Amino acid sequence: MKNKFIILSILILLISCNSEETNTFSAGDLTDKPEQSIAKINVKFVDSIFTKAELFADSGYTYSNKKITLLKHNLKVYFFSQNSFKRLSVLKADSAIIEDNTNDMTAFGNVEVVSDSNFTKLETSKLKWNNKERKLFSDEFVRITSPKEIIKGFGFESNEKLTYYKIYKVIGEQR
């Protein structure tokens, strides 16, 4: 039990590092063995006293030489409002990579984000979250379903609430 606490503390410290250096990796790049692994992850992304997001995953692996943490299995992230502290949206994915220097996250596989306020749902295979700007991005195919419409396309940018979004190459048909 004490070892799990020490490993979790180290993982939180690694994720909490902050620098301007940024790495770009994909889940397929991780052929090396991790330095550490841990089960049942719960990490909060905090700015002063405000919790921006809270992340849950069944397993995590740290790669200090690549300055990343890989999270897998039942990945879920809750995004919170800075003003009301209420939950804005929920992200689910198969796995994610957290860049230790920036706390930016890239989620992979069956990525889904659902807004709590307007019930808009985003689906894609890969999604990036910029921790500093609090924005969601994707260069992949996306599908956005809202109570009013279904929009598909390639390339995407949005706020965490999914109330303001852009799709760069919209595809579809008009009837």
Whether residue 134 is predicted with pLDDT greater than 50 in this model: the reply is yes
User: The tokens of 64 are what?
Assistant: 């200090």
Q: Do residues 55 and 76 touch, judged by C-beta distance below 8 A?
A: yes
> Which pLDDT score, from 0 to 100, does residue 84 have?
79
List CB contacts of 51: < 8 A, sequence separation 6 or more: 44, 45, 80, 85
Please, what are the domains in the chain? 2-17+42-171 (2.60.450.10)
Which helix (H) or strand (E) segment holds residue 15: the answer is: helix 2-16
For residue 2, report the phi and psi dihedrals to the nearest 5 degrees.
-65, -40
- Rg, Å, the chain Cα set: 16
Whether residue 10 is predicted with pLDDT greater than 50 in this model: the reply is no
Q: Which range (80-89, 110-119, 134-143) has the least confidence?
A: 80-89
Whether residue 170 is predicted with pLDDT greater than 50 in this model: the reply is yes
* Torsion-angle region of 73 (φ positive above 0: left; ψ -120 to 50: alpha; else: beta): left
- For 21, 104, 108, 128, 150, the CA distances from 74, given in Å and listed in that order, are 29, 19, 12, 17, 26
Whether residue 2 is predicted with pLDDT greater than 50 in this model: the reply is no
Query: pLDDT tens digits, residue range 46-100?
Result: 888 888 899 999 999 999 889 999 999 999 999 998 887 899 999 999 999 999 9
